[in-house]
Structure 1
Amino acid sequence: MKKRDSKLNNIAITGIFAALITIFTAYIGHIPVGVNGGYIHFGDGLIYLAATILPMPYAMAAGAIGGGIADLLTAPAWTFATIVIKALLVLPFTNKGPTILNRRNYLAPIIAYFISHTGYFLAESLMFGWETAFLSSLAGGLVQSGGSMIFFLMLGQTLDRINFKAKVEV
């Protein structure tokens, strides 16, 4: 297989991930929780996957675009916070190495949980007040991040078995 134009390849894969993140956030497994417009979804698992395959700026763009579009479609009040938070979720992950799952990427979803939880807590505090944010964000954030972590680990393990990362060639 010939080496593809790296920049064009990265842009194309970023677009594919942004679309998948949108679909898995807004529609597939989308479960509304609480009264604040929040919901549980599997889109973060795909943001984690993008972060293990794409260089960081591209993964950040995929997360921000995919999550932002999903919120525009389902919970528009959260769009700005989501764009910032989803871009930051990729920071603990690495795309270095031949596999999706490695020591760092096994631990990264835990750090991503704290980034997500803190970001949405701050956004919710600004929108609804500290007391409301404190009461409503605890359970939803843990369930959301836990589900995304399990989805990412299962998907990463499956894709590593077929040597997916080498086939994508970023």
Structure 2
Amino acid sequence: MRENEKLHQLVMAAIFAAAIAVTTAYILHIPLPTGGYVHLGDALIYLAACLLPAPWAMAAGAVGAGLADLLTAPMWVLPTLIVKALVCLPFTSKSQRVLCGRNIAAIFISGLLSPALYGVANVIFTGTAAAFLPQFLGTLVQAVGSGLVFAVLAYGVDRVGLKKRMLAV
């Protein structure tokens, strides 16, 4: 990998991390009565996972969402670092298009993986299995919203050929 390409990927990951942090913490940040909050940051995590190689996308998702939690819900930083890195894995950046079959399937996989992992984290935090379902359902609402927003963003990115232009070094 050329030095220029490494720097380009680092900068793109940093831009995504910043956008994820701001989107998660402040833009359409809606607290839930069950705890936690609904946000659209996962849509940008999914997009990063489709545009950047996995290690860079995982770092952008973990750092961006981790910073958002540090600002809004500090007890969730550690689970978030793990969960948001893992939700990148079902996506691929190797396809010519963002909205390809694998990435459409990945919306559903990540949309269930994130709520399940946060549910488990909530069980660990509270020490009771009853804490799983409220956390799972709240996070599932957020994941569905983010999946829909991602699909719209991905369609737009594909329509204007942004992936090809954005990743050109």
What TM-score does the superposition give when structure 1 sets the normalisation length? 0.93
Give the share of equivalent positions with the same residue, in percent.
Answer: 46
Tell me the amino acid that sits aligned with residue 159 of structure 1: V
In the TM superposition, what is the alpha-carbon distance from 1:56 to its structure 2 partner?
0.2
Q: Which residue of 2 aligns with 1:24?
A: 23
In the TM superposition, what is the alpha-carbon distance from 1:108 to its structure 2 partner?
0.3
Structure 1 range deviating more: 24-33 or 3-12: 3-12
Are residues 81 and 56 of structure 1, via their aligned partners in 2, closer, same or farther at CA, if it must alter by over 3 Å? same
Distance, in Å, in 2 between the alignment partners of 1:5 and 1:160 is 25
Distance, in Å, in 2 between the alignment partners of 1:80 and 1:54 is 23
Q: 1:64 aligns with which of 55, 62, 65?
A: 62
Q: Which residue of 2 aligns with 1:139?
A: 137
CA RMSD of aligned residues (A): 1.5
What TM-score does the superposition give when structure 2 sets the normalisation length? 0.94
Q: Which residue of 2 aligns with 1:169?
A: 167
Distance, in Å, in 1 between the alignment partners of 2:133 and 2:93 is 36
Q: Deviations for 1:105-156, whole angstroms, at most 9, x for unmatched residues?
A: 1110110022211210111001113344234124212211100000000000
Distance, in Å, in 1 between the alignment partners of 2:85 and 2:160 is 28
Q: Which residue of 2 aligns with 1:33?
A: 32
Distance, in Å, in 2 between the alignment partners of 1:101 and 1:24 is 21
Distance, in Å, in 2 between the alignment partners of 1:130 and 1:163 is 48
Unaligned runs of 5+ in 1: none
Structure 1 range deviating more: 80-89 or 114-123: 114-123
Query: Is the 1:34–1:136 contact (alpha carbons within 8 Å) kept by the matching residues of 2?
Result: no
Are residues 138 and 123 of structure 1, via their aligned partners in 2, closer, same or farther at CA, if it must alter by over 3 Å? closer
Matched pairs, number: 167
Q: Which residue of 2 aligns with 1:78?
A: 76
Tell me the amino acid that sits aligned with residue 71 of structure 1: D
Q: Which residue of 1 aligns with 2:116?
A: 118
Query: Is the 1:92–1:112 contact (alpha carbons within 8 Å) kept by the matching residues of 2?
Result: yes
Runs of 4 or more consecutive aligned structure 1 residues displaced over 6 Å after TM superposition: none
Are residues 72 and 151 of structure 1, via their aligned partners in 2, closer, same or farther at CA, if it must alter by over 3 Å? same
Q: Which residue of 2 aligns with 1:156?
A: 154
Query: Is the 2:31–2:38 contact (alpha carbons within 8 Å) kept by the matching residues of 1?
Result: yes
